[in-house]
């Protein structure tokens, strides 16, 4: 039996549409319902990525052993529970707990599905397939905010729950993973969960993720604070630029290599973040928002390519899970840290700090992440 790639793609997309919708809703929902400013909103956005980062390696570990289906199914269920928890949360602490549940669900959803999809795929095609399948996650994160802005602040939470339930239903009606379940590899040391060759691509995507997290958590608040009247379409514009460049530019990763693409696009992100820090009019803000979306679009497929080249297909579920966990950690850090900087020194300072993280990303990728042929399989 073949792998139900399209059904899994739609299931992951539905789950991440729900997750992405919360990114648009929370900056308004948290202050209106619980009070607090940029720090509270940023923490609510970012804390889900902490759970996602912690859960991804374990989801990949289980999926590598042929247990993808129950992992992915549990991801949809947890995302639904977390979405409902955010709807009914009586206080900020309960909301944060629900965000953690939803974050763990999103990790299981994607990091369990990816090894299932990669099963039986030749090594020469895995990078491209992983990049294409990754559109289910990134498309959801990009389009979810657009969906939230169309639905409205209150009804969006029912849409979030409904999308997560749809994800679970799609997986539950999918035929089982054809791979025979294998004994789980015992985890005795860090190397069992962090394969050699993952750390530097992970650091690259983690530093870039801080930039994305700053945009997700603070862009709407920054535009509202300075009276730039494009706050209601800012994340939509970002999403459109992101998706267009991802769809059109993904072949560039195969043509020029992940390292070259990452260096080019993150350099563009530096310009965009500095521009967002100083933009005062709607036209300039939109221009730099578009540049920010373009700069982020190809970071993930570039790091997928670098990771798979360095691990040579060894334990792809764990490898991809760990690499993507670095992204989650970067986004998670951006919420509270960016919110704290914004409250203490202003929103422009928060975006300048994000530009500094992008510069560090360029240094790691350009200086330390030299091409290598393979890694040890110890």
What is the pLDDT of the chain when averaged over all its residues? Answer: 85
Q: Rounded to the nearest 10 degrees, what angle do helices 234-249 and 199-225 cross at? A: 150
Percentage of the chain exceeding pLDDT 90: 41
Q: How confident is the model at residue 193 (pLDDT cuts 50, 70, 90)?
A: low
Q: What is the pTM of this model?
A: 0.78
What string of H, E and C letters represents the secondary structure of the chain?
CCCCHHHHHHHHHHHHHHHHHHHHHHHHHHHHHHCCCHHHHHHHHHHHHHHHHHHHHHHHHHHHCCCHHHHHHHHHHHHHHHHHHHHHCCCHHHHHHHHHHHHHHHHHHHHHHHHHHHCCCCHHHHHHHHHHHHHHHHHHHHHHHHHHHHHCCCCHHHHHHHHHHHHHHHHHCCCCCCCCCCCCCCCCCHHHCCCCCCHHHHHHHHHHHHHHHHHHHHHHHHHHHCCCCCCCCHHHHHHHHHHHHHHHHCHHHHHHCHHHHHHHHHHHHHHHHHHHHHCCCHHHHHHHHHHHHHHHHCHHHHHHHHHHHHHCCCCHHHHHHHHHHHHHHHHHHHHHHHHHHHHHHCHHHHHHHHHHHHHHHHHHHHHHCCCCCCCCCC
Buried b (16+ CB within 10 A) or exposed e, 152-177: eeeebbebbbebbbbbbebbeebeeb
**What mean pLDDT comes out for the span 343-369?**
93
pLDDT at residue 377 is higher than 60: no
Query: pLDDT tens-digit profile of 50-104?
Result: 899 888 888 887 887 778 889 999 999 999 999 999 999 999 999 999 999 999 9
Q: Which of 148-162, 185-199, 267-281 has the lowest mean pLDDT?
A: 185-199
**What mean pLDDT comes out for the span 300-306?**
86
- At residue 49, the pLDDT reads 86
**What mean pLDDT comes out for the span 109-134?**
74
Out of 44-48, 150-154, 291-295, the most confident range is 291-295
**What mean pLDDT comes out for the span 215-239?**
87
Query: pLDDT tens-digit profile of 149-189?
Result: 888 777 899 999 999 999 999 999 887 666 565 555 555 55
- At residue 372, the pLDDT reads 55
Q: How confident is the model at residue 292 (pLDDT cuts 50, 70, 90)?
A: very high
Cα dihedral: 10, 148, 162, 133 (round 10): 20
- At residue 320, the pLDDT reads 76
- At residue 145, the pLDDT reads 83
Domains of the chain, each with CATH number or no CATH:
5-175+192-368 (1.20.1250.20)
- At residue 82, the pLDDT reads 96
- At residue 189, the pLDDT reads 55
- At residue 374, the pLDDT reads 41
């Amino acid at each position: 039996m073949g792998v139900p790639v399209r059904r899994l793609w739609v299931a992951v997309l539905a789950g991440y549409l729900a997750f992405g919708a919360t990114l648009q809703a929370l900056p308004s929902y948290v202050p209106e319902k619980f009070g607090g400013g940029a720090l509270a909103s940023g923490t609510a956005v970012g804390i889900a990525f902490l759970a996602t980062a912690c859960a991804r390696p374990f989801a990949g570990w289980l999926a590598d052993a042929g247990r993808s289906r129950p992992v992915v199914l549990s991801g949809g269920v947890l995302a639904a529970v977390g979405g409902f928890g955010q709807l009914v949360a009586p206080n900020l602490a309960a909301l944060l707990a629900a965000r953690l549940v939803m974050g763990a669900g999103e990790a299981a959803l994607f990091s369990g599905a990816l090894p299932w999809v990669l099963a039986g795929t030749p090594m020469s095609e895995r990078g491209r397939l992983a990049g294409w399948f990754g559109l289910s996650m990134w498309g959801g994160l990009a389009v979810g905010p657009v969906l939230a802005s169309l639905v409205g602040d209150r009804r969006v939470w029912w849409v979030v729950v409904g999308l997560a339930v749809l994800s679970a239903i799609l997986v539950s009606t999918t035929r089982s993973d054809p791979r025979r379940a294998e004994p789980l590899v015992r985890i005795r040391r860090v190397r069992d969960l962090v394969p050699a060759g993952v750390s530097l691509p992970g650091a690259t995507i983690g530093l870039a993720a801080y930039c994305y997290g700053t945009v997700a958590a603070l862009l709407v608040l920054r535009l509202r604070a300075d009276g730039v009247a494009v706050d209601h379409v800012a994340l939509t514009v970002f999403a459109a630029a992101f998706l267009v460049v991802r769809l059109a530019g993904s072949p560039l990763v195969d043509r020029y290599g992940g390292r070259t693409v990452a260096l080019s696009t993150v350099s563009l992100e530096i310009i965009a973040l500095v521009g967002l820090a100083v933009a005062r009019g709607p036209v300039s803000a939109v221009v730099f928002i578009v540049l920010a979306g373009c700069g982020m679009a190809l970071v993930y497929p570039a790091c997928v390519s670098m990771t798979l080249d360095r691990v040579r297909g060894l334990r792809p579920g764990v490898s991809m899970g760990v690499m993507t966990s670095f992204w989650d950690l970067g986004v998670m850090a951006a919420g509270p840290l960016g919110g704290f900087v914004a409250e203490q020194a202003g929103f422009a300072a928060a975006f300048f700090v994000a530009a500094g993280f992008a510069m560090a990303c360029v240094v790691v990728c350009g200086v330390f992440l030299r091409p290598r042929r393979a890694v040890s399989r110890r």
